[in-house]
Structure 1
Amino acid sequence: MTTLLALIFCIPFSLPVALFVGEYFKETKVALVLSTVTDLLAGIPSIVYGLWGFYTLRPIIMALNISPQGSGVLTASLVLAIMIIPYAASLSAEFIKMVPNDLKEGAYSLGATRAEVVRKIIFGRE
């Protein structure tokens, strides 16, 4: 349950970062800085994230009266989501960069918009 919630929390944050770095602004200075920051965040040990969650996130959860002790599935899911966002963003950006340019250029030449290329070519959805 914790892992499923963490993935649900992670996707809305990691997918835009991956699209920004991998498709929309690839090979720009902003994308380079953002990818470097996500790679650095991915290198932080999990114990550091756990301690941050215990000393920072837990009091916030207690102050919002979500949990009287501040610990539980929600807190663990949030810490795990924050921990896996850099990994998911880096992997997704690499997968997006691996899509052949011929496919994307072919879609653009047929009149597809950038959103349609992302949705239909990169993610493969109709």
Structure 2
Amino acid sequence: MSETRINIDDLDWDDSQRAIVDERLVTGEVAEYDANGELIAVIGYRDGLKHGSELHYFPGGKLQYRGEWANGRAVGVHHAWYLSGQMAEEHHYSDEGWPVEVLKWSEDGTLIRHLADNL
């Protein structure tokens, strides 16, 4: 399938849990909209698997979550924020997609959880 933005409501899933549209594996951006038609997420796909950026937004368009994917595996550092803009979570992944560190903060910025190594 050529690169294009696809509405998440148009996706189906094959037996291997890969995203498909019209019986073809999805390559491109998948967008999700709320009931009012406002964009709430954009996720990159390649050959039916998450690949590239995944972005989620609060109502009004403020960034809520950002992460990167490579061939269906989370990689690098994924961030989540409170509506206030305060960091809520930070998840670190290896190049193979394994979680290696997780940090979580309260809305006032206090670190409330830090997990590393044996996740």
Give the TM-score taking structure 2 as reference length: 0.22
Structure with the largest fraction of strand = 2
Structure with the largest fraction of helix = 1
Greater RCO structure (CA 8 Å; 6+ sep)? 1
Give the TM-score taking structure 1 as reference length: 0.21
